[in-house]
Each structure stands twice: as structure tokens, then as C-alpha cells.
Structure 1
Amino acid sequence: MNQTAREWICLLKDLEKPVKYLKGMGEKRSGLYEKLGITTVYDLLYHFPRYYLDFTCPVQISQAPLGENCILRGRVVKKIPAARIRRDLTVYKAVFTDDSADITIIIYNSGYAFDKLQLDCEYFLVGKVTGNMLRREINSPQIFPADMCDLVQPVYHLTEGVSQLLLRQSMHEALKAFDRFIYEPLPKWVMQKYKLCSLEYALKNIHFPQDMHACEIASERLIFDELLTLQLGMLMMKERSRLSSGCRMKDVSIDDFYGSLPFTLTNGQLGAVNDCIKDMCGESPMNRLVQGDVGSGKTAVAAGAAYFAFKNGCQTALMAPTEILASQHYETMTEFLSPLGVKTALLTGSMTAKQKKLVKEGIESGEYSVVVGTHALVQKSTVFNKLGLVITDEQHRFGVEQRALLAEKGEDPHKLVMSATPIPRTLALMIYGDLDISVLKELPKGRQPVSTYAVTGKLRERTYNFIKQHLDEGRQGYIVCPMIDESDSDLRDVKSYAKKLSEGVFKDYSVGLLHGKMLPAAKEKVMEEFKEHKIDLLVSTTVIEVGIDVPNATIMVIENADRFGLSQLHQLRGRVGRGQFKSDCVLITDNPTDEVKQRLKILSSSSDGFRISEEDLKLRGPGDFFGSRQHGLPKLKIADMSRNTDVLRSAGAAARDILAADRKLEKRENACLKELVNMLFEKNLSDN
């Protein structure tokens, strides 16, 4: 390649032209493609197949497993006259053989497809084989001539109005456009070192491979590109944050903070506080993640960092994702810091205009040294006097840009992120690639282990009696119900379930209800009543996943546990066992498949959140690891960080080598990579 850097970027920009200009596309069709997230030729090229139909290895009819989709090759030996079952249903049948066995093709209401079948002609059939060992059938199969050219065919995500055939035709046109504007983003030395094919080969063979081996070679290159671009972006963000600190602090003692605490910090907590202090005294702003399992004591670390900032004359802002969690952090920070003369304020969206005005005046004047709140902290009307430390909790719920908005309230303030979701280190390095990491693995003294049991719905009544045992001992409990999409039907189910329990098996106990669609004031009221033991049993959705700390709660039952991810179940379980009493968690499922049993067994046998998160990642992949994608990580099109760990490591090593030689990607050989990094992160910010 002899293009200049400018030419490379121009070629890339040409592929960013609207897809409607491709041959055979037009305005109307491009509108359909937009529903698939395809607006440019580049988007189309990177709309990768979900899987492939590999006609090179058809299954013999005699060996075809029943109930599974198969590819068969054979010939039509008999066509049976059409049978009109009713006015709107005509059934066509044909006998198909490969000499190992026969199978009956059944086609509904399509005389055209039936007429196209020629006796003694060979075809491929794609579909689910049903029937029994003596009489096999295949209903409404896809039918392909056996002499077709493409023996490996891509299958894409579609939308109404776009067929596989149409999308394949469009892809051929996009590849022709790529041939005109061909570019190679990787430096030659990277391709040679990691034995990667060219981008031209990769794009052609990911869409229309000659065989599955060619597809694997193409896939490895595209996965490498995606993970390299992502890690380059993360490392460059980290580098930018290292430039200079607008609030460099002096190393002052906080022994009075340690002495005032009603407990002794664990070694992990002390280490994390010391990490923060060391960072805040450095020339660059702190960018640190404190990652710990449920109940590992992250808030105490945050309080220590905030007190250090206070002793250096700086304010701290702590942003939480929900008002419930913000209120709890406010109470905890006040408890830890008020004896030391630190004034703390709470700022949330549900406060009255007058309350907000008074708090914001106190923030701007410097009266409050620590401010805890929700998104209200990033509003333009919230002005800080001297913001030196920004703390965000449950970072993956915010996204990169919201953390940046809060940081803009000060002059390059120090940033501390707390995550109660134990994340496998490989994934943590990707999501928090611009941060240093401190891990809390020890649990503070006094935390009780939680015994966990997985049962089927047949034991529901016995489980209710188990709850009563806890309540009769003066303890409290939770019953958690899933809400998949917070639809009205889900909400009715939660409400009716709570009503049924309060009027039935738990009529002699006080039963409360908590769900996400309640007004903040109503939620607060229920939580306060639960904390004050005015409520014995709280029926709740996952709104309790973070933010409720009731040491007297010792029993949790999670209904339909198969609908939750393992990490979320572990988070929920962490709401009990927070006091001195032995605690239990019961997982109920009415769907005891082998997969569900395997997942729930992992949770029942381990209390190590990091091990559980590793298993969760293997089972579900990073796309579903956090539920809805709110963690600020650019969406990956082809890479899977739970399966492509080797490529992840190679791409990470390449990213570090590239930036070591060219910190800002200014060399000609890196110009295209720089443009790809910008495209990836700009698109991510606009999507969030």
C-alpha cells in the first residue's frame, strides 16, 4: 500500500457514505436497513453473519437427529398430489432420498415452491427433521439446488422487508465499493507478528467464505481489529487523564479518621485507601476503580478518600445511580465523617426546588465538603467551590460520558469508581481500561456467610414455612420477583403476588411491596418502614439490588431465579447476612432444565463473587453480563471477550506496543487506526 495517511482517511470516509447510494438500494430500502443499524456502506460491511449454512458437510437422512435443524442432500423421487385441507390450507408433499433413507418434504400453501421441485433433481434441504425412526418429515424447509456455487452461505440478522437474499446482494455491492476504496488499517509489522490476514481477505471471507477455514481466518483478523481499536481507545483515554492534576494534594495523615471508625478496616480496605492517597498526591489525576464483592466495605474506602480530600481543602462529589443508594451513602458518609467536622449534603431529583436551591448555595459557597447525589449533581445549576474528588458508584450504570460530565465540574479532579459487581479481570480491564484497579477480596468482620439453596416450585409451600421460622425469631425477609421489562403485566404480577401473600399464608405478618415504578417518596417510605421493622416481609423487584442495608434481614427467597444472571443473583443475595444473625437464600425455579440446574448449582456452592462472575461471563457473554447495556463499553460486533481471551491479550499487547512508539497515533502507519478509534468512541457516546 502506497497511500498517504490523508488518502487512507479519505478512503475510510468514502465508506462512510450513506448506504442508499449503493446499486439497487434507494431511499425506501435504505430506510429498512436503518432498522438494523445500517446507515453507511461501512455499517453494512460490518454487519456480520449470525452463523453460516455449511453445505459442504450435509447429514445423511438416516443419521439426522430428530427435533434438530439439519442440512440434507438428496433427490426428489416422488411428488404427491396436493391435499386441500380447508379453504385457507393446501398441503404439498414430496418424497426425498439420499439412498440411506427417505424423508417426506411438507410444504404449506406454496404451489410455486412445490412446482419448482423436479423429479430426480438433486437439492439441499435446510430445516428441522421430525417424525420417528421409521417415518421422517421435514416441514417447510429451505430448498437450494445442489449445483449452486456458494457452498457456505451467511445468515444475517434481518428486519421486516429485508430477506437473506436481498441482504446478500447488498453485501456484494458493498464489497465492490470496498474494492474501489480499499485500505489496510494495521501496520505491516502487526500483521506479520500476529499472523493476520489482510482486511480485504477478512471482509470478503467473513461474508462469503470459500470454506469454514477461510471464515475462521477472517474472523480472527476482524476480532483482533475490534479488540485492538477498543484497547487503543481505552489506553489513550487513560493517557489523556494522566496529563496534569488540577488538584494535587499533600500527603497528610488521616489517622484520626481510622481512629474514629467503629470498626477496624481490612487489609484490602487499608490498601485501597493508601492507593487513593498515593494517586491524589501524584502529578496526574487519580483514575481508580475500587472493585469489591457485596459487603466488602467500598463505602469506607470512599469515606477515607473523601476525608483526605477534605484535609487538603477540596470538595468531594459522590454520584449514585438511584435515590435509594444515594440516601444510604449520604447516611453512611455522614456517620463516618461528621464526627470529624466534615459537612455532608444530599442532592437528589425528588427534593423540592427550595431544598435544592439551599443545598446548591451551600455547595457553591464551600459550606459542604462532601456532596452525595444522583444525576442532579451533573446539572448546569450545580456549581462546586473547589471540587477535588469525584466518586461514582456502580459505574457500569452510568457510562463513560456521565463520569466525564461530573469531572468537568472541577479542574481535572481525581476520580474514584466503586463497583459492587465483581467483574472478571479481563473484562474489568476493558470496561475500566482508563482506570487503575484496587480489589477488595476480604469481607469485614461480622459479615455472616449466606447459606443458599436451589429448589423447584414444588417446594414453594415448604419455603414459605422456612420464611416464617425466620420471622418468628424476630428477623425479617425478602421475596424478590423478576420484572423482565417493567411491563404493566409484570407489575400486576408483583402487586397481585404481594396481595395474595399478605391475605393468605403471611396474613399474620406485615407484608410490604417495593417496585421500580413507585414514586421516590413512596419507595423511601417503604424502605424506612422496613428498616424500622414495621414491615416483616418485603416483596420486591430487583430495585433492592443495591441500596438497602437492613442487618435484621436474614432470609431471601428469589422467585423464578432462572430469569436472572448469576452476578445479579449474587448481588441480591448480598442484601442478607449483613448483621450478626445466620442468613439463608432460597432460589426457586419452575424451569429446572439442565442448564438452569448447572447455573444455580454454581451459586449454591460458592459465595465468591469473582468466581461467580467468571462463570456468568462464560455462560452469558459480556453483552448480557450487566443486563441492559449501560456500562459505557462500546458495543462489540464480532468479538466475544469471554471466548476470545487469547486474541484479547494479543490485541492488548499490540495496542501497548503501538502507543509506546506513537503515543497519539500521529505516524502515517497509524493514521487509519486513529480514525477507527475516533469512530468507535464517537459512535458509542452518541448511542448512550
Structure 2
Amino acid sequence: MPAELERSVTYLKGVGPKRSELYQKLGISSVYDLLNHFPRDYIDYTATADIKSCPVNESRAVKGRVVKKLPPARIRKGLTVYKAIFTDDTADLTIIIYNSGFAFDKLSVGAEYILYGRITGNMVRKEINSPMFIPADSNEKIQPLYSLTDGLSQQLVRQAVRSALSSFDKKIYEPLPKWIMKENGLCSLDFAYENIHFPKDAHSLDIAKRRLVFDELLSLQLGMNLLRRKNRSRTGCVMHSVSLKRFYDSLPFELTEGQKAAIEDCAGDMCRDYPMNRLIQGDVGSGKTAAAAGAAYFAAANGYQIALMAPTEILSIQHYETLTGFFEKLGIKVCLLTGSLSAKQKKTLKEKIAFGEYQVIVGTHALVQQSTEFNNLGLVITDEQHRFGVEQRAMLAAKGENPHRLVMSATPIPRTLALMIYGDLDLSVLKELPKGRQPVETYAVTGKLRKRAFGFVKERLDEGRQGYIVCPAVEESELDVQSVKSYAEKLAAEDFRGYAIGLLHGRLPSAEKESVMQRFKDGEIDLLVSTTVVEVGVDVPNAAVMVIENSDRFGLSQLHQLRGRVGRGQHKSYCILITDNVTEEIRKRLRILSGTSDGFRISEEDLKLRGPGDFFGSRQHGLPRLKIADMSQDTDILLLAQKTAGLVTESDPDLEAPENKGLREAAQRLFSQKTSD
């Protein structure tokens, strides 16, 4: 990269040491950083409206001339109001400026301007307070708006960016080889920087943005490819082909084609010299655990141990029970290692694991503790990818000789996006639901119908079914938990008097959580009042109805996950979403959920509505933050970037060729930044 780009912003005209400290707060230290501090929005002075037709209380651009400037009015000490009359011949508009004689003096009677600001007043007398304005003949009619910090104004940042653009006579670093630019119809980087900051017109802005989005997504994909190669040291667990017929025949149900394909994928991967690194991704109830069990059977048949790490004790117990059911008759021994065991129990169990007495070890974070040793670990399975950091998965994998890795995720993500986010993993997708899964009828209602909804729930309970009421204690804070507790007590005393009510939340001790869930599974609890701890994996086939309070506080994908706790048995199942926040956007979201049970479609809609940041939240472990690309909107460019990355990697896997030096630098720079949690 040229030295001009690596230079500190301190040396740019109008910045200096003091202001450079303010830029540091925005993560900007070099000229390169400043050029990549892209505008968050633009003021478009080209799209002007007639004053007469401008709606009140909305921002608009209007073009006209100043016909009169009124004398300044000193309202009180420290407050002077300046007014001018502005017209476009359809109507007049009063410009009001507070305490800025400098701005007021810039307006000349008879001169034409384009103003931008919020129109106030009424349809007869309209005003615009402290508008931004440019001369009507200005060549810069689209102006950038940047994220700021105290002490930096839009004008100061614009000046600094101009200085950055001109400080090296447009000899801007060009990381893309010419063939990539030609193949994908991309503009040069200097044109892109110039027009992302100061676009000549809307078309130039689109061209610039397309180039910069492509660069970022290409760097992300190439970085993922480099990461994958770095992780591809040979495995000490090369397996050989064994028949899966015994496993398939032992199951009390028939696997779907998707499940069988995922198991075959895993078996093929584990016979190679390099460790498997695969993600099984599927919708709620698509049978990921059965597919993972097939992979575990294959490893056990090859004489290896298997570790399955789950994010919660409840889920690890469930996996233990499920896998015991699968494997007991096949002579494969399964054990459960969790934090709630006594010190003596843990010590005894860990000795047996180290000795090789158990082939399948299910547990929580206890599996990664230093004192946990395996006899011959060949396969590591982690459930719910987003709940474990990269480090925890690596610690578990370090317990063996570079064992094979399998990740299960119940968050359906559009395939192109999953390939990008989990770029260092191969992907198996389970689309179809196993036979016997019930579709869940979903209804969205307001709080006014709460009593009716509760009546409906009672009818299901009277038929011998069980149900959930979920409350949005999203943070599991003391306050949230208290409100859930008092809510449960109120339900037990009023609407559901005479029914057995259970309470489950994240702050309960593990043993108590386990006890509540066991009692619910055993049918001792009719109605479980819970926070989102039930979101993942809890399986009670007799539960056939769920009410979700304040459903507007959840994303669509999370609501879909919650809904997946019912409809797991033979009984017709229902989900009732209650909200008192009835905006048009909430209506739209809840309509989507009521209208489909396809988690992949729901995730696509969720992505469009909330954007990837909110959608993934803490799920993006290790994924660099993107400055300009939006993976939910830029899927066409994403596909081009993935295709290009494939071509580059095929001919130059480590990006060592001189023409790919810039690509390697860009990928390394992106991955060296602070990643999202």
C-alpha cells in the first residue's frame, strides 16, 4: 500500500494533533481509514419538491430564491433569531435560523438556493428551521453525511476527506487485478472513493458503491479461504469406510433424504487426511441430532471417541437421553459430563473417559476443562454454533490429534449467506422435516384478546396436552426475572388456578432448571412459564400450545425457534403471539410468521427487516465487521465475489502471486480488525 495511504490523518490540511484524537474515537488513524469512513447517508439536493406540495413535519429539498431578509430579533440574552422569506413561485417559505449570523449572512436577496430541512407550520404558512443549503448552480448536489463524534462537524469531515482524496494526486492503491475488474464490470478504486464521498450523480454513486461492496465481500471470502487453509493441518484420525446399515436399521423411524446425505457427507469427510470441518444447518425440528448421531456412529465404528458439547445443561441432558436411545442397543456407551456433578462424580467419570470406557461423551463447557482428557477423540460435535466462541471449539478440538469437527445450527440462514458467515466450514443443509412433524398453526393477537387466548390454552390442557407461556426476559436481568416470577404467580392464582404451573428462567441453579424440565417432560407440570431459555432444543412431544407475550420484542427467527418447541408430537399444535405494540412494521413481521413455517424464508425476511447486525447479534463469532456491504441486500454482488474468490484460490491458494499481493493485503487487513463478538 502506498505510504500516502498509511500516513496519519494528523498531517491532512485542517486536522492536526488535537482533531486527530477526535478521529481516533471513530476508529480513524490513517488516510486509508478516513477514505474508508463511508458516508452513512446523503442529502440529495437534486430531488426538489414544490413548496406548495411539501407535507408538513417531513424533510424535503426545495429550490427557490430569497426575496427578503428580515432584521434580526434578539429574543433574550443568548438567543437571536434570523428570518428570511424564500419562494419558488408556488408558495412562500419562512427560513428561520437561530444564533448563526454567519449562516444568515451567506444568504443573499435575489440569489437562488436549494434548501434542505424539515418543513413545519401548516399548509398555509410554512417554515423551515436551520436548513442546510447550497447555491442552486452548485456542482455538488449530493452531499455526504458521516457518523460523527463531539467536536467534529459534517463540514470538518468533508474537508478532511477532500484533503485525503487530493493528497496523493489520485494515485490510489489498486488491489484488484485488471482481469477481475474487467470480468465484473467494476470501476477503478480512485473513481469509487471520489464518488462514494462526493458523487457526481446517483448513477456514479451506484457504480462506486458496487465496487467497494465487491472489494469488501471479496476480501471477506478470500480471508475465509486463507483461514480454512491455515486450519488444514493433517488429522491423526483418518477413518475407513464402514457400513451405516446397522445404524439405519436400528432407528425407530426413517431418516429423510437430507439427513442421509448429511451423514454420508460426514462419513466421506472423515475418511480424508484433513479434518472434517462441517456445518449441519437445518430448520427447527429437521432432525439435526439424528444426522449428527449417524456421524458419531461412523466414528465409533472406527474405534474413536466422540464429544458433543451443548450450550446449556438442559440441552446436554436431552442430547444424552436421545443418543443413549440411539446407541444403547448398538453397544455404544454414552455418558454425561456437566458442571452440576459433584467433584467426586466428575473425577470418577473423567477417569473412565480417559480410560476409554465411554465412546460418546455429552456435556457442557465441562468438556473443555483442562482436567478432562480423552482416550482417542476422533470427532467433536458442537451444538448451536452461535453460542460458542471460536476459542471454546478450538479448545475442545485440541483434546485429540486434530479431530474431525461437526457443528449443528438451528438458525436457518439463506445458503449464500451461510457460505459467507461459516466460510471456513463445509455445509450440509436439512430442508425437509421428518415424517410425523406437525405444522404449528400461528395466530397474532393484541393484548385485548389475552383472556380468550388463555381460555384456548386451558381447553388444550383439559384435553391432556401441555403448554408454554414465554415472556421476553431477553437479558435475564434481576428485574426481568422478578417480573417473570410475579407473572407466573399471578397466572397460578388467577387465570390458571387449579393447573400445575412451572417456572423456568436463566438465573435458576442448574439442578433446579433440570428438575423443572424433567417434571414438565414427565407431565407433572401442565403449563411452563419461561423466558427464552426454552428457545433451544427442549423436546416435549405432549406440548401442543405456546403463548408468546410481547412478541414484538423478538426477531422473527427467534420467534420461529420458540414456536419450534411445540408440534413435536402427534398432536395438532398452536402458537399465539400477543403484542400491544401494533405498528405497521410489527403487523408485517407477525403476518410473515403466521403465514409460513419455512425457517429459511423467515430468516430471509428477518434479514431484510432487521439487517445482518441485529439478525445475528452475538452469532457472528469471529466474523469481521463490514463497513459498506450489506449481506441481506447485496446478494448479487456476494455471488460474484464468491465466484471470483473461487477462481483466484484455485490458481493461487495462498495469494502469493505478485498480481494478488493487494488481494492478500486487503483480506489480512479485514481480518486483523476487531471482529464482532
Do the structures match in fold with TM over 0.5?
A: yes
1:649 CA displacement: 1.6
In structure 2, relative to structure 1, the CA distance for the partners of 1:485 and 1:125 (3 Å cut) is farther
Match of 2:404 in 1: 414
In structure 2, relative to structure 1, the CA distance for the partners of 1:481 and 1:126 (3 Å cut) is farther
1:303 CA displacement: 1.4
1:294 to 267, 284, 294: 284
Match of 2:304 in 1: 314
In structure 2, relative to structure 1, the CA distance for the partners of 1:492 and 1:648 (3 Å cut) is same
Q: Hey, what's the Cα distance between the residues in 1 that align with 2:169 and 2:356?
A: 61
Residue identity opposite 2:627 in structure 1: K
1:109 CA displacement: 6.1
1:296 CA displacement: 1.2
In structure 2, relative to structure 1, the CA distance for the partners of 1:441 and 1:180 (3 Å cut) is closer
Match of 1:264 in 2: 254
Match of 1:187 in 2: 177
Q: Hey, what's the Cα distance between the residues in 2 that align with 1:89 and 1:350?
A: 66
In structure 2, relative to structure 1, the CA distance for the partners of 1:453 and 1:117 (3 Å cut) is same
In structure 2, relative to structure 1, the CA distance for the partners of 1:37 and 1:466 (3 Å cut) is farther
Match of 2:192 in 1: 202
Q: Alignment partner of 1:262: what SS? A: coil
1:631 CA displacement: 4.1
Match of 1:451 in 2: 441
Greater Cα offset, 597-606 or 174-183: 174-183
| Structure 1 spans left out of the alignment, 5+ residues | 1-7
Match of 2:558 in 1: 568
Residue identity opposite 2:154 in structure 1: Q
Q: Hey, what's the Cα distance between the residues in 1 that align with 2:596 and 2:576?
A: 14
1:579 CA displacement: 1.4
1:190 CA displacement: 0.9
Greater Cα offset, 348-357 or 362-371: 348-357
Match of 1:247 in 2: 237
Match of 1:374 in 2: 364
- Residue pairs, 1:49-64, within 5 angstroms: 49-64=39-54
In structure 2, relative to structure 1, the CA distance for the partners of 1:628 and 1:123 (3 Å cut) is farther
1:494 CA displacement: 3.2
Deviations 1:162-205 (A, max 9, x none): 32223223323443556587321111111112121111221222
Q: Is the 8 A contact 1:248 1:283 kept in 2?
A: yes
Q: Is the 8 A contact 1:480 1:541 kept in 2?
A: yes
In structure 2, relative to structure 1, the CA distance for the partners of 1:76 and 1:629 (3 Å cut) is farther
In structure 2, relative to structure 1, the CA distance for the partners of 1:406 and 1:292 (3 Å cut) is same
Q: Is the 8 A contact 1:398 1:630 kept in 2?
A: no
2:534 to 544, 556, 559: 544
Q: Hey, what's the Cα distance between the residues in 2 that align with 1:32 and 1:323?
A: 46
Q: Is the 8 A contact 2:45 2:116 kept in 1?
A: no
Q: Hey, what's the Cα distance between the residues in 2 that align with 1:323 and 1:95?
A: 70
Match of 1:614 in 2: 604
Match of 2:273 in 1: 283
For the pair 1:126 / 2:112, whether they are aligned, the reply is no
Greater Cα offset, 475-484 or 344-353: 344-353
Q: Is the 8 A contact 2:39 2:144 kept in 1?
A: yes
Q: Hey, what's the Cα distance between the residues in 2 that align with 1:92 and 1:236?
A: 60
Q: Is the 8 A contact 1:15 1:177 kept in 2?
A: no
Greater Cα offset, 425-434 or 172-181: 172-181
In structure 2, relative to structure 1, the CA distance for the partners of 1:465 and 1:78 (3 Å cut) is farther
In structure 2, relative to structure 1, the CA distance for the partners of 1:434 and 1:452 (3 Å cut) is same
Match of 1:633 in 2: 623
| Structure 2 spans left out of the alignment, 5+ residues | none
Q: Hey, what's the Cα distance between the residues in 1 that align with 2:32 and 2:311?
A: 35
Q: Is the 8 A contact 2:421 2:620 kept in 1?
A: no
1:142 CA displacement: 3.3
- Residue pairs, 1:94-493, within 5 angstroms: 94-107=84-97, 117-146=107-136, 150-176=140-166, 182-240=172-230, 244-486=234-476, 489-493=479-483
Residue identity opposite 1:163 in structure 2: S
Q: Hey, what's the Cα distance between the residues in 2 that align with 1:18 and 1:315?
A: 54
In structure 2, relative to structure 1, the CA distance for the partners of 1:111 and 1:485 (3 Å cut) is farther
In structure 2, relative to structure 1, the CA distance for the partners of 1:454 and 1:231 (3 Å cut) is same
For the pair 1:509 / 2:506, whether they are aligned, the reply is no
Match of 1:5 in 2: none
1:231 CA displacement: 1.4
Q: Hey, what's the Cα distance between the residues in 1 that align with 2:468 and 2:369?
A: 35
Deviations 1:3-37 (A, max 9, x none): xxxxx4xx37x745655565554565444434433
Q: Hey, what's the Cα distance between the residues in 1 that align with 2:624 and 2:645?
A: 17
Q: Hey, what's the Cα distance between the residues in 2 that align with 1:551 and 1:256?
A: 27
1:119 CA displacement: 4.2
Q: Hey, what's the Cα distance between the residues in 2 that align with 1:233 and 1:552?
A: 47
Match of 1:644 in 2: 634
Greater Cα offset, 248-257 or 218-227: 248-257
Q: Hey, what's the Cα distance between the residues in 1 that align with 2:522 and 2:83?
A: 71
Q: Hey, what's the Cα distance between the residues in 1 that align with 2:579 and 2:78?
A: 41
In structure 2, relative to structure 1, the CA distance for the partners of 1:304 and 1:116 (3 Å cut) is same
In structure 2, relative to structure 1, the CA distance for the partners of 1:246 and 1:218 (3 Å cut) is same
In structure 2, relative to structure 1, the CA distance for the partners of 1:82 and 1:15 (3 Å cut) is closer
2:515 to 505, 525, 528: 525
1:584 CA displacement: 0.3
Residue identity opposite 1:396 in structure 2: H
Match of 2:671 in 1: 681
In structure 2, relative to structure 1, the CA distance for the partners of 1:48 and 1:254 (3 Å cut) is same
Q: Alignment partner of 1:63: what SS? A: coil
Deviations 1:391-423 (A, max 9, x none): 121213335454334323322321211111121
Greater Cα offset, 73-82 or 270-279: 73-82
Q: Is the 8 A contact 1:15 1:181 kept in 2?
A: no
Q: Hey, what's the Cα distance between the residues in 2 that align with 1:662 and 1:492?
A: 58
Q: Hey, what's the Cα distance between the residues in 1 that align with 2:646 and 2:468?
A: 48
In structure 2, relative to structure 1, the CA distance for the partners of 1:285 and 1:24 (3 Å cut) is same
Q: Hey, what's the Cα distance between the residues in 2 that align with 1:58 and 1:585?
A: 48
Q: Hey, what's the Cα distance between the residues in 2 that align with 1:42 and 1:491?
A: 47
Aligned residues: 677
1:333 CA displacement: 1.9
Percent identity, aligned pairs only, is 65
In structure 2, relative to structure 1, the CA distance for the partners of 1:213 and 1:536 (3 Å cut) is same
Q: Hey, what's the Cα distance between the residues in 2 that align with 1:324 and 1:91?
A: 65
For the pair 1:664 / 2:654, whether they are aligned, the reply is yes
Deviations 1:520-551 (A, max 9, x none): 34433332332233332222222211032111
Greater Cα offset, 666-675 or 357-366: 357-366
- Residue pairs, 1:12-23, within 5 angstroms: 15-16=5-6, 19-20=9-10, 22=12
1:318 CA displacement: 1.6
1:118 CA displacement: 4.8
Normalised by the length of structure 2, the TM-score is 0.91
Q: Alignment partner of 2:617: what SS? A: coil
Q: Hey, what's the Cα distance between the residues in 1 that align with 2:171 and 2:511?
A: 58
